[in-house]
Structure 1
Amino acid sequence: MCDVSIRERDIQAALTKDKGGQAVLTSWTSESTTSKFDGHTSTIRNIRAKYHLQGRRGGGELGGLGEQGELGEQNEVCYVVKYNTPRGADADEFYHLIFVNECNFYTKVLPSLNEVLRQIGERPLCFPTCFHHSLERGKEFIFLENLRVCGYRMEDRAVGVGAAQASLVMRELARLHAASYLLQARLPHDLLEEFPFLKTEWTKEFNLGSDWPGFVRGFLNTQTLMFEKMGGCEKVVAWIRKISPQVGDLYDKQLQRMPPFATIIHGDCWVNNMLFRYDDSNRPIEVVFLDLQGCRKASVALDLQHFLNLNVVDEVRRPGLTSLLKTYHESLTRVMQAAGSPPPFTLDQLEEEYINKGFYGLLYAIMWLPNMVKRPEEASDILDSDADRVEAERRCILNMVDTNPLLRSRILSVTDEWMARGLLC
């Protein structure tokens, strides 16, 4: 069944960019892949397009899925399409902003970063190819390469990732950050002047039933009840109650753009925004990042905090933190030195910055881990501010304390770590 929000002319435009001017769309179908676990900031669909190549013998060219045959035989290709749906005037402004972030990253920032890497003999950054986009208000969309059909897959958010996947992510985040540093070095002005959309911090425009601090406090209120029900979490409960009234100011402090750590970062490094490719022995060999709606200029440590605290299993993260930071720093250094530049900070300075940004990682872990470990039947739209939905979510989280063992193990591994580091006290 075709979706009325996706226009045939836009599929043709994506097809032309992907396969060339000789590609002619003949038919298409779509299927939803949107999940309530994702926060539902976009509607996401797979578009499976059939086409033929004018003046060419059809079949299999340029990554199509058809078989070789006679002139005009149909080929097939699959795209991922993220698009906005109207939600009301106030909310529409926020959703427009995050589409501006993502589309501008793919069409302006990423080509610039990849050109810097090309000049020093480095491969491009690992993101899907963008084939077409629109920022028409209320009708925003972006067509992206569908890497799942090429064998890439997403890890289980409830379980988290192990050492091999974590190392890949740390190396690739370092390449993203290094390319951003190198681009800044080549510009006569700041990255914020080169890419003005990065000046707008999306949390300042958040207005989905409340402002951002109010939204965060709603989660903290529920999680306070969750920790109380778990028992033995008095220090965690006291910390949440202490920081909750000033959480907006504390969060903003984490976002301050201070040298030498501030550069372009992903901004939403959790496992659902990553796809992994595996070899024949089922070893992870590549990671690709998705969803740049939260990209910003900020400390590189925010990406590391977000990824490590929410996604890396405890037996890897805690004993292996120094090793993971070293992996990141070695990758960053290698790219910088390929351009004849020193790394912007030492490993010791990175470790200090990581600890200094612990509030950011701990806050996101407390907010999001309960949702990440939910079973499918427990899923809900976490951005829905309806009072009945919020109350149902609260009952669900409290019930999970008794029924979902992953909740206790995953979230307490993070709070215990930051308690030992002296942040949570």
Structure 2
Amino acid sequence: MAGVQFLEGYQVTSPEHANGTPDFYDVLTEDLIKSCLKADKGDQAVLKSFKIRDFTNKGDNYICAVTGVHVDYELEGRDHKAKYVAKLNKPTNHDDTRLMVRDLFEQEKNFYTDIGLTLSGELKEVGHDPLRFARVPYVYSKDGVYVMFMEDLRERGFTMYDRRKGLGDAHVHLVLRELARLHASSVLLQKRSKKPILESHPYLYDGFMQDELPYCTYRIIMGELAGGAALVAEKAGGYDQVVQHVKEVFKPKCTEIIRDLLRSQPPFQVVTHGDCWTNNILFRYNESGVPEEVAMVDFQVLRGSSPMNDINFLIHTSITGESRRKNMSRYLRDYYSTFQKVILDAGFEMDFTFEEMEKEFDRQRYFGFYMGLMIGSIILREDGEGLPLDNLDNSNVQEVFNESGKKLAAQCDNDTILSRRILDIFDEMKEWGVA
């Protein structure tokens, strides 16, 4: 990853497309693939041919596109093959989406070319494995086109878990330990540099933490996503007070509420993934089908925040209510012990006790509640027309999401599993006295 390079321009040529591949993949040109290949394999690598091979399913990606690039090349007189995952922005008529995608790509580039490498170095320095994420040999960003070429983790046996199901216990522990290593490594960085993480890496203060959200219509989108989940609860009945909270408290001030929950203070201020749920986690399994290794992807909302935001995000978007009720204390213990081991092995003392961390987890539960409702609403839409981001322009955001929300309640009758996931969160909100 130290060899990440940036392309200054590209020549328009047409690759061989898979059937049904969108035309916007035309940005994956011969010159672009050549530049990626040389950055990855060296200047002597000669491109012979390449093909675009889609592999994602409906709901795998929302505001970006992801596809496979299969390359045949020659090096030192011998033929070779390489496979990459290319992540690129979709064309849009919605200005706020265009602006946000630009910022998200820049943030993810910051992870792969800067902070991710630095944090892995901190772990290796104390005898721990580096963070587990894909190698990124090449990034292109010019004139509103963003392309990131990543190692294809499928080649190492990693696969995506079914986001419609709650993560199994073994999966949860793998993710919690990797999050603990990510968070703890940033504490090591702060201790060695003697600077707060937001001071040493100011890009970690992201758009959603600013006083005014740069993408103003996303207030509508976030509110409508939570409102869609409220329609499911309203139809089920028995959630009047919590539904009222979502509609009258969260929806009109959702960005301000999320902003305040994202802001943090030491000792609970670390580098967080920011979007840690099933869609952004890959697992490698042994011959018996037991998960042995985890790798995280999609660091587009990387930020400096409370580690308990990542934990709450994970458990409220990717784990069933039953698993939370039965196992939460054990999950937190596992997370804390992994975090603590990194810190102690580096010769430092922990800055907070387990009990203090538990209180921070509880303080950030609302963040988990809101994220769980929004993500649940997104996944439930996949049985219908999906999340309607591709249909947005500068004038129709409210109209498009109002129409989408009306269809959502009808879909919940056909998907009791996901509906139950949403209702579990409403049950927990009731237990916590949300009003």
Same structural fold, with TM-score higher than 0.5 when normalized by the shorter chain: yes
Tell me which of 402, 405, 422 is aligned to 2:413.
402
Q: Where does residue 262 of structure 2 map in the other structure?
A: 255
What is the DSSP-based 3-state SS (H/G/I as helix, E as strand, rest coil) of the residue aligned with 1:379?
A: coil
Tell me which of 105, 129, 132 is aligned to 1:126.
132
Residue 342 in structure 1 maps to residue 349 in structure 2: yes
Q: Where does residue 86 of structure 2 map in the other structure?
A: 81
Gap change, CA 1:213 and 1:377, over 3 Å in 2: closer
Q: Which amino acid aligns with 1:18?
A: D
Kept after mapping to 1: 8 A contact 2:161/2:283? yes
TM-score (norm 1): 0.89
Gap change, CA 1:371 and 1:254, over 3 Å in 2: same
Residues 387-408 of structure 1 show CA distances to partners (whole Å, capped at 9, x for unaligned) of: 5642442233111232211133
CA RMSD of aligned residues (A): 2.2
For the residues of structure 1 that align with 2:288 and 2:57, how far apart are their CA atoms? Answer: 30
For the residues of structure 2 that align with 1:383 and 1:413, how far apart are their CA atoms? Answer: 30
Gap change, CA 1:224 and 1:314, over 3 Å in 2: closer
Q: Following TM superposition, by how much is the alpha carbon of 1:337 offset from its aligned partner in structure 2, in angstroms?
A: 1.0
Kept after mapping to 2: 8 A contact 1:28/1:49? yes
Gap change, CA 1:231 and 1:221, over 3 Å in 2: same
Q: Where does residue 417 of structure 1 map in the other structure?
A: 428
Task: Note the 1:255-404 alignment, pairs <5 A.
Answer: 255-376=262-383, 378-382=385-389, 384-385=391-392, 386=396, 389-404=400-415
For the residues of structure 1 that align with 2:325 and 2:201, how far apart are their CA atoms? Answer: 36
For the residues of structure 2 that align with 1:341 and 1:190, how far apart are their CA atoms? Answer: 16
Q: Where does residue 221 of structure 1 map in the other structure?
A: 227
Gap change, CA 1:363 and 1:177, over 3 Å in 2: same
Percentage identity across aligned positions? 30
What is the DSSP-based 3-state SS (H/G/I as helix, E as strand, rest coil) of the residue aligned with 1:220?
A: helix
Q: Figure out how many residues of one structure are paired with residues of the other and give that number.
A: 406
Unaligned runs of 5+ in 2: 1-15, 18-24
Q: Which amino acid aligns with 1:418?
A: M
Gap change, CA 1:284 and 1:216, over 3 Å in 2: same
Q: Following TM superposition, by how much is the alpha carbon of 1:180 offset from its aligned partner in structure 2, in angstroms?
A: 0.6
For the residues of structure 2 that align with 1:87 and 1:379, how far apart are their CA atoms? Answer: 16
For the residues of structure 1 that align with 2:227 and 2:290, how far apart are their CA atoms? Answer: 41
Kept after mapping to 2: 8 A contact 1:227/1:233? yes
What is the DSSP-based 3-state SS (H/G/I as helix, E as strand, rest coil) of the residue aligned with 1:285?
A: strand
For the residues of structure 1 that align with 2:63 and 2:259, how far apart are their CA atoms? Answer: 22
Unaligned runs of 5+ in 1: 55-70
What is the DSSP-based 3-state SS (H/G/I as helix, E as strand, rest coil) of the residue aligned with 1:160?
A: coil
Q: Where does residue 5 of structure 2 map in the other structure?
A: none
Kept after mapping to 1: 8 A contact 2:51/2:69? yes
What is the DSSP-based 3-state SS (H/G/I as helix, E as strand, rest coil) of the residue aligned with 1:125?
A: coil
For the residues of structure 2 that align with 1:282 and 1:390, how far apart are their CA atoms? Answer: 40
What is the DSSP-based 3-state SS (H/G/I as helix, E as strand, rest coil) of the residue aligned with 1:252?
A: helix
Residues 135-159 of structure 1 show CA distances to partners (whole Å, capped at 9, x for unaligned) of: 3241221111111232211111111
Kept after mapping to 2: 8 A contact 1:39/1:382? no
Gap change, CA 1:403 and 1:200, over 3 Å in 2: closer
For the residues of structure 2 that align with 1:14 and 1:185, how far apart are their CA atoms? Answer: 36
